[in-house]
Amino acid sequence: MLPNSMKGFTLWWSKSAESCALKTKTSDWVEGIDLRGIILVQPFFMGNEPLGNERTDQATRSLLVGLWHLACPSATDGCDDPQINPEKDPRLSSMGCARVLIFVAERDVQREREWLYRDLLVKSGWEGTVEVMEAKGEGHQFHLFHPTSDDAVNLMRRFVSFLNENEISHR
């Protein structure tokens, strides 16, 4: 199980969790690994064209674009690089796990990209199941800033349940 969290860490980890899952079907280096699912907690994806809240929150979008250029200065297509824009990744249908769980926060500037990722997986021909759990009225990382809130507790319960479902199904 490969989870991710936190925007700074997510910059690397959301794409790393997804990349690892994609490589399980396409690389010898992961031979013998039984990757059953990935969990993406408010993941970081980008694109050159702003979506949804990115259009109105230019300050946050500029910060995110800057973070991406700092993390990957060699990205020749900017934010349309397949490493950060799953819409441009031709390997998406080769996800090497059976399940994906995506946590979305309604007021997160990346909300539309997170839902787009779900839609892309479904349309790609990938044979797994994808689930999205959206916290209404919450912003990015709400579960870290308010860990005892109802939404944070619900997020953690679903997170743990997802992990346990994988354990039970493979015993």
Residue 158, in any domain of the structure: yes
> How deeply is 71 buried, as exposed, middle or buried, from its count of CB atoms within 10 A (0-12, 13-18, 19+)?
middle
- In this structure, what token pair is assigned to residue 138? 């919450």
| Number of independent structural domains in the chain | 1
Residue 95, in any domain of the structure: yes
Domain range for 85 = 7-169
Give the pLDDT of residue 6.
38
The maximal CA–CA distance of the chain, rounded, in angstroms, is 48
Q: What is the pLDDT along the chain (171 residues), one digit of tens a residue?
A: 444 443 333 333 455 566 656 555 555 555 666 778 889 999 989 999 999 989 999 999 999 999 999 988 998 899 999 989 999 999 889 888 889 999 999 999 999 999 999 999 999 999 999 999 999 999 999 999 999 999 999 999 999 999 898 665 544
Which residue type is seen at 65? V
Instruction: List the beta bridge partners of residue 2.
Output: 38
Give the pLDDT of residue 34.
72
Q: Which of 97, 122, 71, 106 is nearest to 3 (CA)?
A: 97
- In this structure, what token pair is assigned to residue 23? 């490589």
Q: What is the pTM of this model?
A: 0.82
Q: How far is CA 9 from the centre of its chain?
A: 12
Residue 1, in any domain of the structure: no
Supply the CATH number for residue 152's domain.
3.40.50.1820
SS3 42: coil
Residue 50, in any domain of the structure: yes
Q: How far is CA 91 from the centre of its chain?
A: 15
Residue 2, in any domain of the structure: no
Give the pLDDT of residue 95.
84
